[in-house]
C-alpha cells in the first residue's frame, strides 16, 4: 500500500554560486561551485517523505533526455516508487538555471520546457494511496481546470485524503470559483501568504482562511516564511512560529518540505497542531542546505 502519491513537477536545477568575472578575460567567469540538484515540487515532496520511511510514489512527466534519466535515477535511489513517471517523446525535461551571487542576489533562467508541453496526467495514472498530494495546483501539469476536476474526483473515488499546495499562476488569472465543484473534496490546502492573498482576495490570514473554508476546503494552512504558519481547521485556528534556523543557506523547496512534514503527521494520525509542528521542523531542516532535494 502506498502512503502518499505526490503529483506535480520534476525539474533539474543547475545552481551556480558565487559567480565572478575574470579580470583577464571578459567572457569567462569563475564560480565557487556549479552543482546539479533535483527539484520541482513533486520531487522535493516525495523524496522528503521517502527519506522519512514512508511508501511514496510520484506521478510526473519527464523527457527522454539526460536530465530525465538523472531525475528518474535519483528518485529510485531515494526509494520513491517511479511507476507513475511518464517519459514523453520530444519533450525536454525542465532544467532551471539558478545563479546565486556572493551578496545573496539571485538570477533564475527558465525555458518553455517548464510548461510540460505534451504531458497531461490521466486519472487512471493516480495509484491508490492513503494521501494524494497535488504538489502545486495551477501550474503545469496541474493548471487545466477540467483536468484538475477529473484528477481530484478520481483521487476521492479511491478514498484518499486529498492535499494540495498552490503556486501563483504563470500568466492567466485563476479563480478558485472555477473549481467550486471539487474544492469541498480537498482536505488540506497549503498556500504561502502571497498565494493565499491572491486566491482569496482577502487581506488578513483569518479572512483568507475563512474564504478558502467558505468554498468548502476543510483545513487551510498558510505558510508564512520565516514567521512560521497560520492554520485554520475544523478543530480550531492558530499561528505557530517557525523553528529558528541560524544558518539559513537556501529556502528553495522549504514549502514542499513543510508539506512533507505535515503529511507525515497525517499518516501518524497526529493532531492538526502536531502536523503543523512536523511541517515546520521538516522545513527548517531543508533550508540548511542548497536546493530543495538532493545534490547529484
Ligand X SMILES: Nc1ncnc2c1ncn2[C@@H]1O[C@H](COP(=O)(O)OP(=O)(O)OP(=O)(O)O)[C@@H](O)[C@H]1O
Distance CA 191, CA 73 (A): 30
Residues 6+ apart with CB under 8 A from 57: 2, 4, 5, 6, 46, 80, 81, 82, 83, 84, 127, 129
Q: What is the largest CA-CA distance in the chain?
A: 64
100 binds ligand X, rule: CB under 6 A: no
Query: Which range of residues in 26-34, 69-77, 201-209, 251-259 is near ligand X by CB under 6 A?
Result: 251-259
Q: Which is nearer to Mg ion, 45 or 187 (CB)?
A: 45
205 binds ligand X, rule: CB under 6 A: no
Closest chain position to Mg ion (CB): 255
Task: Give, in degrees to the nearest 5, the angle at Cα 185 between 184 and 189.
Answer: 85
92 binds ligand X, rule: CB under 6 A: no
229 binds ligand X, rule: CB under 6 A: yes
Closest chain position to ligand X (CB): 255
User: Rounded to the nearest whole angstrom, what is the least distance from the CB of residue 245 to ligand X in the complex?
Assistant: 4
Q: Which is nearer to ligand X, 170 or 226 (CB)?
A: 226
User: Rounded to the nearest whole angstrom, what is the least distance from the CB of residue 11 to ligand X in the complex?
Assistant: 12
DSSP 103-162: TS-EEEE--GGGG-TT----GGGS--EEEEEEEEETSTTS--HHHHHHHHHHHHHTT-EE
248 binds ligand X, rule: CB under 6 A: yes
Q: Which is nearer to ligand X, 98 or 284 (CB)?
A: 284
Residues 6+ apart with CB under 8 A from 175: none
Q: Which is nearer to Mg ion, 68 or 255 (CB)?
A: 255
Site string for ligand X, 176-195 (x = CB under 6 A): ----------------x---
User: Rounded to the nearest whole angstrom, what is the least distance from the CB of residue 254 to ligand X in the complex?
Assistant: 3
253 binds ligand X, rule: CB under 6 A: yes
Query: Which range of residues in 13-21, 55-63, 142-150, 248-256 is near ligand X by CB under 6 A?
Result: 248-256
| Binding partner selected for residue 267 from ligand X, Mg ion, none, CB under the kind-specific 5 to 8 Å limit | none
Q: Which is nearer to ligand X, 99 or 252 (CB)?
A: 252
Dihedral sign for Cα atoms in the order 17, 21, 24, 25: positive
Distance CA 229, CA 237 (A): 11
- Beta bridge partners, 240, equal 229
What letter does residue 93 receive in the DSSP assignment? P
Chain positions contacting Mg ion, by CB under 5 A: 255
96 binds ligand X, rule: CB under 6 A: no
Neighbours of 57 (CB within 10 A): 25
Q: Footprint of ligand X on this chain (CB under 6 A)?
A: 192, 223-226, 228-229, 242-243, 245, 248, 251, 253-256, 258, 280, 283-284, 287
Amino acid at each position: 500500500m502506498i502512503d502518499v502519491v505526490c503529483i506535480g513537477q520534476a525539474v533539474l536545477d543547475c545552481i551556480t554560486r558565487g559567480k565572478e568575472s575574470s579580470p583577464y578575460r571578459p567572457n569567462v567567469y569563475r564560480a565557487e561551485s556549479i552543482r546539479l540538484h533535483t527539484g520541482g515540487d513533486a520531487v522535493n515532496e516525495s523524496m522528503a517523505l521517502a527519506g522519512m520511511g514512508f511508501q511514496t510514489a510520484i506521478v510526473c512527466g519527464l523527457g527522454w533526455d539526460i536530465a530525465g534519466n538523472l531525475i528518474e535515477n535519483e528518485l529510485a535511489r531515494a526509494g520513491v516508487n517511479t511507476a507513475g513517471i511518464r517519459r514523453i517523446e520530444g519533450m525536454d525535461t525542465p532544467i532551471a538555471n539558478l545563479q546565486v551571487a556572493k551578496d545573496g542576489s539571485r538570477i533564475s533562467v527558465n525555458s518553455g520546457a517548464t510548461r510540460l508541453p505534451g504531458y497531461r496526467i490521466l486519472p487512471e495514472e493516480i495509484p491508490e494511496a492513503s494521501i494524494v498530494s497535488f504538489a502545486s495546483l495551477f501550474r503545469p501539469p496541474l493548471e487545466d481546470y477540467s483536468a484538475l476536476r477529473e484528477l481530484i474526483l478520481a483521487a476521492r473515488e479511491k478514498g484518499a485524503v486529498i492535499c494540495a499546495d498552490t503556486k501563483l499562476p504563470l500568466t492567466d488569472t485563476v479563480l478558485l470559483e472555477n473549481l467550486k465543484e471539487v474544492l469541498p473534496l480537498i482536505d488540506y490546502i497549503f498556500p504561502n501568504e502571497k498565494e493565499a492573498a491572491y486566491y482569496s482576495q482577502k487581506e488578513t490570514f483569518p479572512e483568507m482562511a475563512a474564504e478558502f473554508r467558505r468554498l468548502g476546503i476543510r483545513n487551510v494552512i498558510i505558510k508564512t516564511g520565516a514567521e512560521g504558519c497560520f492554520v485554520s481547521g475544523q478543530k480550531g485556528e492558530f499561528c505557530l512560529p517557525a523553528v529558528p534556523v541560524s544558518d539559513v543557506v537556501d529556502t528553495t523547496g522549504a514549502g514542499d518540505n513543510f508539506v512533507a512534514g505535515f503529511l507525515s503527521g497525517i499518516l501518524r494520525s497526529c493532531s492538526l497542531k502536531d502536523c503543523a509542528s512536523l511541517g515546520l521542523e521538516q522545513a527548517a531542516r531543508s533550508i540548511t542546505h542548497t536546493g530543495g532535494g538532493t545534490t547529484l
